[in-house]
Amino acid sequence: MKPIRLISGFLTVGVWTLLSRILGFVRDAMILAYLGTGPAYEAFVVAFRLPNMFRRFFAEGAFNMAFIPQYSKRLEGDEDADGFASQAFSGLATVLIVLTLVAQLTMPWLVYALASGFAGQDQFDLSVVFGRIAFPYILFISLAALLSGVLNAHGRFAAAAAAPVLLNVLLVGAMVTAVLMGWDVAQALVWMIPVAGVSQMALVWTAARRAGMTLRLQRPRLSPEMKQLIIIALPAALAGGVVQVNLLVGQQVASYFDRAVGWLYAADRLYQLPLGVVGIAIGVVLLPDLSRRLKAGDEAGSRNALSRAAEISLALTIPAAVALIVVPFPLVSVLFERGAMTSDDSASIAIAVAIYGLGLPAFVVQKILQPLFFAREDTKTPFRYALWAMAVNALVAIGLAPFIGWIAAAIATTLAGWAMVAMLAVGARGFGAVARFDSRFHSRIWRVVAASFAMGAVLWLTNVALAPFLGMAGIRYGALAVLVLVGMVSYFAIGQLIGAFRLAEFKQAMRRGG
């Protein structure tokens, strides 16, 4: 994959992810408007997070990180790549079906593990009911993630990136229908989650078939290929489990403070916009590309791909982080504050958004550095680093909560993210020149930081000027649009002027397509 093709693939995933996140904002704003941050909302958050937590553990965090490099190598070597994918699909489906059945039986304990502070409150019983309805989502979305990995290995990114859009469309549709029909909005939402999972899997399955990939349903068997896959995937699964433990610790801490689970979830949704568009997109494109280059012995190409991925990622992430830190309150209040959600909710969410903003570059850099290990089928080293990051997270979250309250969970997440980056960076030095960013990256990165800080100053002044309008009903949406537009224009203008990037490079990549 040439550098320009790498960037165009990133833009394809990024644009679809951006659309998904925008629809996600619509979805979350509607949920908060209808449910507020009370018991029904917190129960929905826990129920929705359960299958998503296990999905990242089994599919994205482990299986795909082990599966994609092996599938890509078989694809390049003219081996039976589709047969390997069929075995992996059947094996993963079997594990997930068993997991879903076990989860139905143990749901009260799972909810207690996620939010023990709910015990004895309305949220607990409601979370158990919602959790049982929503959990089958893991089966369909995890299989969809594996199919997405197959498509990505073939350089086809659009269908896989579009699948999350379908989830948000269906959830928004469920709420609208519930309101029109007089149904319970929370019930309509939670029942739509497994329906959305089936729809997402059908979408990527159809795309894979149309692309000429033949996946056959078969009886799962422990072949030598599957044994090798499990050996590689297990440490990655444990690493993914560590990441989910970090989330669990944060939610446990928040569950002991009134409405804090909802506040942290809403803040998470906001910072996930740039993280999804940039970090996840570049990780999806970079891993199969690095795997192919390393197999071919193309160290120069690998270094160039890594450097360009880091360059474009940080050029978009650092200004986003600055914006989340400088103007979190207008972003939160305009996007989410309506209906049952109050200004006090907005203020609390904004604090968490600013703290997450400090960690945003770390979360993206992780997505850039981890493929260096995964492309070499080294999943044990990131697992060891993840254990240390988990220790940092738990120590800070639990240790600070008695003194500063629920916000300790957000601080812990950010500090653990930077600790993980530091360990990945040090560990990657052993890979030699492949893991070192080139001179072009080093010459541009400090300019990106300067342009971002300058944009932050412009945003702060603009926010002060627009403050009266940001609080007016009807006008506030236009005022926020002006604020965002001023930030974007100032950043790209300053960045172009001081040589942080060349806008022509983005235009050229977009013309080449994904």
pLDDT of the residue at 80? 73
Local confidence band at 93 (pLDDT 50, 70, 90 cut-offs): confident
DSSP strands (E only) in 92-135: none
CA Rg, the chain, in Å? 22
Scan for tokens 């680093």, then name that residue. 385
Local confidence band at 163 (pLDDT 50, 70, 90 cut-offs): confident
Average confidence (pLDDT) over 119-136: 90
Average confidence (pLDDT) over 484-509: 84
Local confidence band at 421 (pLDDT 50, 70, 90 cut-offs): very high
CB within 8 Å of 158: residues ≥ 6 apart: 12, 16, 514
Average confidence (pLDDT) over 453-478: 91
Whether the pLDDT of residue 61 is over 60: the answer is no
pLDDT of the residue at 465? 94
Which has the higher per-residue pLDDT, 323 or 41? Answer: 323
pLDDT of the residue at 13? 62
For residue 23, the one-letter residue type is: L
- pLDDT (tens digit per residue) in 317-345: 999 999 999 999 999 988 888 777 778 88
User: Could you tell me what percent of the chain has a pLDDT over 90?
Assistant: 32
pLDDT of the residue at 143? 86
Average confidence (pLDDT) over 346-359: 93
Which has the higher per-residue pLDDT, 275 or 102? Answer: 102
Whether the pLDDT of residue 1 is over 50: the answer is no
| Pick from 148-152, 282-286, 369-373, 501-505: least confident | 282-286
Which has the higher per-residue pLDDT, 451 or 29? Answer: 451
**Gap between the Cα atoms of 468 and 483, Å rounded:** 13
Contact in structure between 129 and 118 (CB atoms under 8 Å): no
Local confidence band at 242 (pLDDT 50, 70, 90 cut-offs): low
pLDDT of the residue at 510? 47
| Pick from 65-69, 170-174, 496-500: least confident | 65-69
pLDDT of the residue at 271? 81
Characterise 377 by phi-psi region: left (phi > 0), alpha (psi -120 to 50), beta (else).
left
| Closest to 279 measured CA to CA, from 369, 412, 389 | 369
* Main-chain dihedrals φ then ψ at residue 436, nearest 5 degrees: -105, 135
Whether the pLDDT of residue 290 is over 80: the answer is no
Average confidence (pLDDT) over 226-235: 73
Whether the pLDDT of residue 127 is over 70: the answer is yes
pLDDT of the residue at 457? 96
Which has the higher per-residue pLDDT, 49 or 277? Answer: 49
Whether the pLDDT of residue 200 is over 60: the answer is yes
In this structure, the number of other CB atoms found within 10 A of the CB of residue 170 comes to 18
Average confidence (pLDDT) over 52-79: 67
Contact in structure between 164 and 17 (CB atoms under 8 Å): yes
Scan for tokens 């997505």, then name that residue. 367
Cα 436 to Cα 207, 307, 369, 426, 428, distances in angstroms: 36, 8, 10, 11, 8
pLDDT of the residue at 126? 93
pLDDT of the residue at 32? 83
The overall average pLDDT reported for the chain is: 82
Q: Is the dihedral of CA 325, 394, 375, 160 positive or negative?
A: negative
Average confidence (pLDDT) over 344-354: 92
Which has the higher per-residue pLDDT, 440 or 374? Answer: 440
Which has the higher per-residue pLDDT, 57 or 91? Answer: 91
Domain boundaries, the chain: 3-512
pLDDT of the residue at 2? 47
User: Could you tell me what percent of the chain has a pLDDT over 70?
Assistant: 84
pLDDT of the residue at 295? 65
Which has the higher per-residue pLDDT, 175 or 501? Answer: 175
pLDDT of the residue at 89? 83
Average confidence (pLDDT) over 493-499: 93
- Write b or e for each residue in 171-192: b if 16 or more Cβ atoms lie within 10 A of its Cβ, otherwise e: bbebbeebeeeeeebbbbbbbb
pTM here? 0.72
Contact in structure between 353 and 329 (CB atoms under 8 Å): no
CB within 8 Å of 42: residues ≥ 6 apart: 115, 118, 123, 127, 259, 261, 262
- Write b or e for each residue in 39-48: b if 16 or more Cβ atoms lie within 10 A of its Cβ, otherwise e: bbbbbbbbbb
| Pick from 84-98, 121-135, 367-381, 470-484: least confident | 367-381
CB within 8 Å of 290: residues ≥ 6 apart: 302, 305, 306, 371, 372, 375
CB within 8 Å of 502: residues ≥ 6 apart: 496
pLDDT of the residue at 272? 76
In this structure, what DSSP letter does residue 184 have?
-
Q: At what angle do helices 299-326 and 281-295 cross, to 10 degrees?
A: 170
